[in-house]
Amino acid sequence: MVEIIVAPNAGFCFGVKRAVKLAEESVSLIEEGRRVYTLGPIIHNPQEVGRLKKLGVNPVGEEEPSKGDAIIIRSHGIPPERERELKEKGLKVIDATCPYVKAVHEAVCQLAKEGYFIVLVGEKNHPEVIGTLGYLKECNGEGIVVETLEDLNEALKHERVGVVSQTTQSEKFFKEVVGELALWVKELKVINTICNATSVRQEDVYNLAPQVDVMIIIGGKNSGNTRRLYNISKSLNPNSYHIETAEELQPEWFEGVKKVGITAGASTPSWIIEQVKGKIEEICERQSCYS
């Protein structure tokens, strides 16, 4: 029997997986007679949003929720005043905010209470950043969003500066901002809130590729993060293949094979990973993979 190992951090990150799971579980509320909405598309993947629609979970917009309906806050999070508004409307709020994003909300308030002026490294219009700024306001903190080094000027007027990051920021830019601030302000406190989903996905490949006979990497052919996973895998195991769907799997790849590793880029839903896993099992039932 062939052994198939799926990399622990394959595909969606922890926070997105969790949000999708909460959306799936909310189906029980539909059975109770409520309608269930998500506040914006729960993930940036139309197939996945389509799949949830079929279960009855729709993004707000086409229809507006009313008293008694459930609403899911997606992994990015929202400002606390927005959450209160939803509750005041009589909606049942299901909070799928990523715990790593909640950690940013806590970090800005901790730093604000300690008297630091906040520098939030991130994109000014990103929903996660807008949510975090809401929390900063809630705890009477002051601060700015830094998207380019020029944005830092405002922070240099302050003697004590606290730095956090949008969870998906580039480590390179974060490092530049912190280094620059360290030279100009009197006291700097940094809580690194960058989520390491990308780097742990790569670490998985470093661990998995050398110990399997074949390595399958799933993800868009034009996806940068997937191609990087493939290149790492190929350098460690020549029997590495980059596919987009289960249909691309070739039976001859698995002849005489004992162990198969699977990973997937950030935009690959777990059901596609499951399809690939199922297809490999099917191939190996028809032919003797491990002869």
Q: CB-wise, 19 or 108, nearer to a copy of itself?
A: 108
Which element (helix H / strand E) includes 113? helix 99-113
For the CB of residue 159, give the shortest distance to a copy of itself in the complex, in Å: 11
For the CB of residue 171, give the shortest distance to a copy of itself in the complex, in Å: 5
Q: Which of residues 103-132 bind a copy of itself (CB under 8 A)?
A: none
Phi (first) and psi of residue 117, to 5 degrees: -80, 130
Q: How far, CA to CA in Å, does 48 sit from each of 16, 124, 125, 146, 241?
A: 11, 27, 24, 32, 24
Which one of the spans 28-36, 141-149, 189-197, 229-237 is the region binding a copy of itself (CB under 8 A)?
A: 189-197
- Tokens found for residue 123: 């994109």
Q: Which of residues 160-179 bind a copy of itself (CB under 8 A)?
A: 163, 171, 174-176, 178-179
> What HEC string does 35-81 produce?
CEEECCCCCCCHHHHHHHHHHCEEECCCCCCCCCCEEEECCCCCCHH
Q: CB-wise, 81 or 187, nearer to a copy of itself?
A: 187
Rounded Cα distance between 140 and 142, Å, is 7
Phi (first) and psi of residue 261, to 5 degrees: -105, 145
Residue 283 touching a copy of itself (CB under 8 A): no
The correct pick among 19, 36, 43, 188 for binding a copy of itself (CB under 8 A) is 188
Q: Is-contact 243 249, C-beta < 8 A?
A: yes
Residue 203 touching a copy of itself (CB under 8 A): no
The correct pick among 58, 192, 225, 239 for binding a copy of itself (CB under 8 A) is 192
Residue 189 touching a copy of itself (CB under 8 A): yes
Active site amino acids: 128
Residue 37 touching a copy of itself (CB under 8 A): no
**Interface residues with a copy of itself (CB under 8 A)?**
163, 171, 174-176, 178-180, 182-192, 194
